[in-house]
Amino acid sequence: MKIFNIITNGILLIIIAVLHTSLAIEPNGGGKQFSKMAETNFYKVSSGAELLPIDETKSSFADVEILAIFWFFYFGLFLIPLGLLVHSIERKGGILPLSFTVPYFLFVLVGSYMMPNSGMTLIMLPHAAYMLVINIIRYKKKQPTTS
């Protein structure tokens, strides 16, 4: 299966990142909120810590839609360099360390629990499980057998 030699876990992460980022700016996705961020040249899209502690006397409040789209967009951008790093390790014949794949899988698993009807569950969870399993298999293949 030559396709598995071409498409690495890094490429899959980059594809997920592009889909994630695209949905944040797509008109039928988060386009309206993304446009609001663009109106401020992406400066201070949230009041952040100024909103804390939360109490009813404050007149400002967080625009939850803009915060959600910001994090959706920003996380998508973060996945691109992560995907490039994973791809470069795999192309050089390296195996991703369990110190990366296990926490990544757990991170995605918790996200899937918290948002079961999302891309985290439908796309990232199967990929994280695949990445973990394939790297365990690769690790076992590289181990010298002792008899």
The boundaries of the domain holding residue 102 are 96-147
Task: Tell me the HSE value of 47 on the side-chain side, using a 13 A CA sphere.
Answer: 12
Domain shared by 14 and 69, yes or no: yes
Decide: 139 and 98 in contact? Cβ < 8 Å. yes
Domain shared by 85 and 124, yes or no: no
**Domains held by the chain: number:** 2
Domain shared by 135 and 75, yes or no: no
Note the pLDDT of residue 62. 61
17-51 tens-digit pLDDT = 999 899 888 888 888 888 888 888 877 776 666 66
105-123 tens-digit pLDDT = 999 999 999 989 888 899 9
Instruction: Provide, rounded to the nearest whole percent, the portion of the chain with pLDDT above 70.
Output: 83
Query: Does residue 48 come out as left (phi exceeding 0), alpha (psi in the -120 to 50 range) or beta?
Result: left
